[in-house]
Chains A and B, each alone.
Chain A
Amino acid sequence: MTPITIRNARVVDPATGRDELASLRIVNGLIDDIGEGIAQDDDHIIDANGAILAPALIDLRAAIEPSFTPGGETLDSLARAAASGGVGTVVISPTSSMPIDAPETVMALRAGLRPMPVRTLISAGATRNLGGETLSEIGLMATSGAAFISQGDCPIANTTTLRSLFSYASGFELWVACPARDAGLSHATVATESEAAARFGLTLEPTVSERMAIDRDATIAELTGARLMIDRVSTRDGIEALSRARKRGIEICSTVSIANLAFNSVDADGLDPAFRLTPPLRSEEDRRALVTAIENGLIDAVVSDHRPLDLDLKAQPFADAAPGSTGLEVLLAAMLRLVHEAELDLVSALRPLTSGPAELLGLPQGRLEAGAPADVVLIDGDAPWVYDVSDSASTRRNSAWEGRRFQGRVLMTMVDGGIVYNLKG
């Protein structure tokens, strides 16, 4: 394979804090060198024209649909959507329709991943059918290649079961991702408790549900020595609970869904089922608390929470619509929007998309350093564009982002030194 040098790039790497105009040379799928005048005679040269060159994104939460679902999202369509969004590594998460709760499923998914354009990891269902009652074969799934385990969108009600799960998983040193919702308070809720939402006559979730879940799960993690991943914190109350837990020295990490960073509950006030999401959209105050938490390094990863759904499930009255939106293609652009609106600086915005999740899972990618895998994304930081869901590589069209204006667009995605997406075709 001919070595490639990307020159004239603004090299931005949250892992090292690097932000400078330089060249990056790739040999045999690995980053060979970063600096000036490193290109050699026979190198294939890509001129970045000053565009941003960053590590390809790592998304810890995306879903596919079961095989042979009519019109369903497959690994292949998901991987193409990921590549076009600048995502080089995507974690397939368990859902109620595909709980990934047996080692056979993990092995089958991994067998199917090899020819994919992006790297794909598995987070396996922590309990059978995500039912929160019976441990799934966590050890055998880890042996089969699961990167961590997750309860999907299903909180565990029984604290004795939670203790067993945390205790058992701690023996394998696996992260356990738990949704930050109290099973009772959040049951059948569709939006955040507020005066406005109450007028619509919806079943509502108080934000203390998230706080209680984080306090509880962190307490049990402390008891058992588990590694707890707070899956999608979304409120100021939740951030405070997270902050308390961190001060106690518990091994805890947290993610935020991009939708909760980009939208607030006002966006859902029209009862557009596209904005029916889990966690539900929160107040502007909550959204700002999340941005501040990212700036302060309290959040380890921002996730797309890509959730492809049959439009028939989505084209329902708000309360009946299935929750979720696709998100892989806009993850980066939505974060860059926060940079343009001066809510975050570029390095802080990229960290939870690259080195943050890489460090959690001990991945070698997600950083720009000699010897690291050449998983990179080239970004035009200023290009304006409008997301048109009909152009999506995903097979599904349920998107809260339809018609959204962005500034900042993926030009090219490379994984393992190979170009897996190029805007210009």
Chain B
Amino acid sequence: MGRADFTYDFPHDRLITVDDLNPLDIQILFERAEHWHGVNQSPDKKHDTLKGLTQINLFFEPSTRTLASFELAGKRLGADVVNFSTSNSSTKKGETLADTARTLAAMHPDLIVVRHNASGAATFIHNETGIATVNAGDGMHSHPTQGLLDLFTLTRHFGDVGGKRVLIVGDILHSRVARSDVGMLNLLGAEIRLCAPPTLLPTDVDRWGAEIFHDLDDALDGCDAVITLRLQKERMSGALIPSVREYFHFWGLTTRRMEFANADCVVLHPGPMNRNVEIESTLADNAERSLILEQVEAGVAVRMAVLEQLGLRARKNARPGS
């Protein structure tokens, strides 16, 4: 049954994790993302969908691409967008997160986009303010728009990711991206594989509905897509991984290794890349294999779709005159 056959309003007043979404929600978001994806390629990018609404991007972690992506998305939808980032936030002056949230709420924004290094921060902000909140990454927990954009990219590439064999390789333990991607892949019926050294796998990983590998060559066998995760610099110092060269030798994605995967297997990376750490430089630049720039493009469209749904609902639910 298609969506046209009955009325369904996007029911959420926040986006904390992809686990909150059902297949119909995702269908709505992907349809709207596809719309905005086309609009973004035209010279007439600015629209007034969210005109009159205020969007605050509250970033407690350094970010370039995600912040820019959310800022562009809000502006192209006609919202007024304000960025607060760590360098100029009051937390540096000792303010608690609760006070920051209440202070911002008093300025009556309609949408808050939040990134924070503590798992649960986005839920906390939403509970404190009641304002529509988009989680732009909270600790090691969740990064739902990344999960949406990765699957939107794969869906555009394959038509349907159902039954496709998708491998996620890298630092799964510390990755909110991996958790969000796995949630989406499960929902859309992909066959999921995870590959990492045991020190970079969470202890509950056997309940993720994925097949676990330590050997990358084995993991790549028959894959249709590989998502490589960023290995953060502080993980390379010997507590969990002996060295960069050992990591690259066993878990770095290379053109030679890709021969174990299907001939048309594609490569994704959430960025920013460490060249020759998690991915061979020449492979990242291989236009036939790499969907990395497509992911960036999809990111703006997907975030527009999310902000649009939450913004329209916020406007509809606002008390007149308040």
- Chain A residues near B (Cβ < 8 Å): 128, 133-140, 143, 160-161, 164, 167-168, 170-172, 224-225
Contacts and interface: CB of A to CB of B under 8 A. Distances in A.
B276 to A, nearest CB: 16
Nearest to B213: A171
A161 B242 CA distance: 12
A171 B239 contact: no
Interface string B239-260: 1111101100110000000000
A419 to B, nearest CB: 41
A139 B239 contact: no
Chain A interface, DSSP helix/strand/loop, else mixed: helix
A309 to B, nearest CB: 30
Given A140-B246, A167-B199, A171-B197, A134 B240 contact: no
Contacts of A224: 198
A207 B67 CA distance: 59
A139 B246 contact: yes
A138 to B, nearest CB: 6
B231 to A, nearest CB: 14
Interface string B63-74: 000000000000
A140 B198 contact: no
Contacts of A225: 198
Contacts of A134: 237-239, 242
B45 interface: no
Contacts of A170: 198
Contacts of A161: 239
Nearest to A138: B242
Given A140-B245, A171-B214, A128 B198 contact: no
Contacts of A135: 238-242
A128 B238 contact: yes
Contact of A139 (B237, B240, B242): B242
B239 A164 contact: yes
Contacts of B250: 139
A167 B197 CA distance: 8
Contacts of B199: 164, 167-168
Interface residues of B, number: 15
A135 B214 CA distance: 17
A156 to B, nearest CB: 12
Residue among B241, B245, B246 with most chain A CB within 10 A: B246
A137 B198 contact: no
Given A135-B242, A168-B199, 6 more contacts: A133-B238, A137-B246, A140-B245, A160-B239, A164-B239, A168-B198
Nearest to B247: A139
Interface in B89-129: none
Contacts of A140: 242, 245-246, 249
A219 to B, nearest CB: 15
22 contacts: A133-B238, A135-B238, A135-B239, A135-B240, A136-B242, A137-B242, A138-B242, A139-B246, A139-B250, A140-B242, A160-B239, A164-B239, A164-B240, A167-B198, A167-B199, A168-B197, A168-B198, A168-B199, A168-B240, A171-B198, A172-B214, A225-B198
Chain B, interface SS category: loop
Contacts of B246: 137-140
A114 B243 CA distance: 29
Contacts of A168: 197-199, 240-242
A126 to B, nearest CB: 10
A287 to B, nearest CB: 38
B214 A137 contact: no
Given A164-B199, A167-B198, A171-B214, A137 B239 contact: no
Best-buried of A135, A136, A140, A160 by chain B (most CB within 10 Å): A135
A136 B239 CA distance: 10
Nearest to B215: A171
A224 to B, nearest CB: 7
A167 B250 CA distance: 16
Contacts of A139: 242, 246, 249-250
Contacts of B245: 137, 140
Nearest to A173: B214
Interface in B122-178: none
A138 B199 CA distance: 13
Interface string B179-223: 000000000000000000111000000000000001000000000
Nearest to A170: B198
A133 B239 CA distance: 7
A64 to B, nearest CB: 24
Contacts of B240: 135, 164, 168
B251 to A, nearest CB: 9
B218 to A, nearest CB: 12
B200 to A, nearest CB: 9
A367 to B, nearest CB: 30
Contacts of B197: 168, 171
Contacts of B241: 135, 168
A164 B235 CA distance: 12
Q: Which of B197, B241, B242 has the most CB of A within 10 A?
A: B242
B197 to A, nearest CB: 5
Nearest to A172: B214
Contacts of A172: 214
Contacts of A167: 198-199
Contacts of B243: 137
A172 B250 CA distance: 11
Nearest to B196: A171
Contacts of B249: 139-140, 143
A162 to B, nearest CB: 12
A171 B243 CA distance: 16
A143 B242 CA distance: 14
A133 B238 CA distance: 8
Nearest to A165: B199
A411 to B, nearest CB: 46
Interface in B244-301: 245-246, 249-250
A160 B238 CA distance: 12
A161 B199 CA distance: 11
A224 B249 CA distance: 23
Contacts of B239: 134-135, 160-161, 164
